[in-house]
Amino acid sequence: MRYYLLPLAILLSACATPQVDIQTSESAVNLSDAALLTAEAVTPPTAVLNTAATGQGDSAMAQAQRFAHWKDDFTRRAIAKGYSPQLLAITVGRATMNERALERDSSQPEFTRPVWSYIKSAASPERIERGQAELADHTAIFDELEQTYGVPRQILAAIWGLESSYGRILGNHDIINSLATFAFEGRRTKFGEAQLFASLDLIQSGAVRVEQLTGSWAGAMGMTQFIPTTFRDYAVDFDRNGNTDLWTSEADALASAANYLTRSGWRPNEPVMAEVVVPVDFDYSQSESTKKTVAAWTALGARPANGLQFSPAANQLEAKLLAPAGQRGPKLLVFKNFDVIKKYNNSTSYVMGIASLGEALGGQTSIRNPWPEDDQPLTFKDKENMQKALTAKGFDTGGVDGQVGPATRRAIRAWQSANGLPADGYVEQRLLARIMAPGR
């Protein structure tokens, strides 16, 4: 009995009751409408690189010299850790700067893509049609994966579809070049160095060959876009041919994703999310961070959006309530498996995209209620100004960084409560104008 996304089997019993509506809270920027909807969501870009720290004023020759010095230093440290000089010579020794990766990583998009736009693109008709065909073509593999790992095929196919357009878009960047560039300078030097060492581990162990290490500019590889540490720690040779191949083996790539989810705490036969509807006077201050049983949320007025009732088994599950587009948008109960997928990509929008695409691949609809598509999203500068204004009014956002994280949403909710508004933590241009106005 499967109920992997919405409360289908165990979550619902056949009684007519009020609707329910669900949703999450941040939106993610896509890397490519064709496939890679994910990279910006994992590590949202910060403002700009520090000129003094990164040498933006360097001449090409000066930068090349600094890069060469960095490579020498890294090589010495790597050899001291036990990596062979020969391995360093054919990897870091040959590395060149990937200027495009550094530029992409340091740039800040002016607008954040609305969550509804992300989900629409994630579960596009083309992606659904292609995914259903892939599920049919690889029935035997998905049968074995479900039996081995307990992760539903629709979830794995959705990850495959969003990460690489079912293996059609893998990226052609040299991973060593990208990671060496990140480790050398920029905002993610620790990340770059950790991933570079993991790449050396992969090569030294024989898990991969140097020439296989190609992928996205951000350092992710294969059909399921694993970064090197994830590849090293979770990838599996599911087709048992002696080569863990995430680039050309569907079995290895999908099994590696399933292994990662399982080891991250996936709970078989439990849902990811369920759309609910809530009363007009619902207390949104309990949303996002508060876990309650489904029965407890029901007692507060939450009802399944499809008009059925939660089953007795579902009533015992713990969930959080999310309202990604505020009181006017869909609302969701999200379960343990929602958080597990978020470990794959730390973006609420990404998980909703996976859940929505997975549901669509099974011929179902995950979100029924309309999004407030007339809302105008905030720019990066808008978010900075909002954080400054909230802080000045006594609502601490934890700093000014242009990112609407948990601390900023708490400040927004506090301001909304103080001004007699639903404390849903959601701001668009009309509410921003009120926040920026003089007074409380």
pLDDT at residue 59, as a whole number: 82
Residue 316 · residue 336 · CB < 8 Å: no
* Nearest one of 112, 125, 155, 141 to 426, comparing CA atoms: 112
Residue type at position 136: A
CATH of domain 380-436: 1.10.101
Residues sharing a CB contact under 8 Å with residue 335, sequence separation 6 or more, in sequence order: 267, 270, 271, 272, 273, 274, 317, 318, 319
pLDDT at residue 8, as a whole number: 41
Q: What is the pLDDT of residues 168-179, one digit of tens each?
A: 999 999 999 999
pTM of the full structure: 0.85
Q: What is the pLDDT of residues 201-234, one digit of tens each?
A: 999 999 999 999 999 999 999 999 999 999 999 9
Cα–Cα distance measured from residue 226 to residue 214, given in angstroms and rounded to the nearest whole number:
11
Q: How confident is the model at residue 439 (pLDDT cuts 50, 70, 90)?
A: confident
Question: Domain residues of the chain, as ranges?
Answer: 12-28+268-361, 380-436
pLDDT at residue 108, as a whole number: 53
Cα–Cα distance measured from residue 364 to residue 361, given in angstroms and rounded to the nearest whole number:
7
Q: Is the pLDDT of residue 189 over 90?
A: yes
Cα–Cα distance measured from residue 29 to residue 349, given in angstroms and rounded to the nearest whole number:
9
Q: What is the pLDDT of residues 340-398, one digit of tens each?
A: 999 999 999 999 999 999 999 999 999 999 999 999 999 999 999 999 999 999 999 99
Give me the mean pLDDT over the 1-26 stretch. Answer: 37
Cα–Cα distance measured from residue 200 to residue 208, given in angstroms and rounded to the nearest whole number:
10
pLDDT at residue 57, as a whole number: 52
Q: Is the pLDDT of residue 141 over 50?
A: yes
| Beta pairing, strands 12-13 & 309-310 | antiparallel
Residue 270 · residue 317 · CB < 8 Å: yes
pLDDT at residue 22, as a whole number: 30
Give me the mean pLDDT over the 305-313 stretch. Answer: 93
| Beta pairing, strands 309-310 & 318-322 | unpaired
Distances, alpha carbon 173 to alpha carbons 74, 176, 359, 388, 409, in Å? 21, 9, 32, 39, 37
